[in-house]
Structure 1
Amino acid sequence: MRTKRFSEQQIANALSQLASGREPEVVCEDLQITRETLEAWRSRFAGAALSTAQRLREAEMELGALKRMYAELALENERLKILLTGKR
């Protein structure tokens, strides 16, 4: 799994700098990111408070865990069906 290079706090700080009128090129240069990354952050976290961004991240992590659990259970269920029917 890919690790995040920037925390939600750093992203929120960058977006607040943009909101205060700082040039996007300067913010990108300071953080060493591309303009596309900055626009992706802006579209994802636009108008969201830091707590909202943190809750979103936690929800995404929980969803990922639930998807993995479902995949494991579905695989186990399929194996049990094969064992019960005797088909391979």
Structure 2
Amino acid sequence: MKQSRYSETRILAILRQAEGGMPIAELCREHGMSNASFYKWRAKYGGMDTLMISSMKALEDENCRLKKMFAELSLQNELLRERLWGENNAAISAPGNGRVGRSEAKCQHCAGLPDVWGERDMLSLCSPAEE
């Protein structure tokens, strides 16, 4: 994220000057910023004090941290699924004519992974109609 030239306290001071009646064009010229920046700040920070801004920054940081954590856990989950079910999908797919029937797939799968899946575990994954 790009670092701003202006701190939150300075932004609040500029917004207070504008609330005090100073023309916006003159205010922007004095501080060396664009009108668009001023209006963006007013939309984001209008009516806030320093305490509210610091709490908003803390929430934004926590949100960013949680998004990164979610992305890492989603990637781990996907890798684990590929590891567990990738071998299963390879056993279910037939090389020539599409998919193999469920009973053949169970046998192939159990034969390929005898230590991980037992017959009881494989049957518990199937609905009663498929058994």
| Residues 18-66 of structure 1, C-alpha deviations (whole Å, 9 max, x = no match) | 1111111122112221111101111111111111112112211110111
> Structure 1 counterpart of 2:18, which letter?
L
Aligned residues: 88
Structure 1 or 2, whichever has the larger Rg, is 2
Name the counterpart of 1:34: 34
**Structure 2 matches for 1:1-88, cutoff 5 A?**
1-87=1-87
Flag the structure with higher helix content: 1
- Structure 2 length normalisation: TM-score? 0.62
Instruction: State the alpha-carbon separation in 1 of the partners of residues 20 and 80 from structure 2.
Output: 59
The runs of 5 or more residues in structure 1 that have no matched partner are: none
Instruction: State the alpha-carbon separation in 1 of the partners of residues 42 and 86 from structure 2.
Output: 55
Instruction: State the alpha-carbon separation in 1 of the partners of residues 4 and 39 from structure 2.
Output: 17
Ranked by relative contact order (alpha carbons within 8 Å, sequence separation 6 or more), the top structure is 1
> Structure 2 counterpart of 1:42, which letter?
R
The runs of 5 or more residues in structure 2 that have no matched partner are: 91-131
- Structure 1 length normalisation: TM-score? 0.89
RMSD: 1.5
> Structure 1 counterpart of 2:71, which letter?
A
Instruction: State the alpha-carbon separation in 2 of the partners of residues 4 and 63 from structure 1.
Output: 19
> Structure 1 counterpart of 2:17, which letter?
Q
Instruction: State the alpha-carbon separation in 2 of the partners of residues 8 and 28 from structure 1.
Output: 16
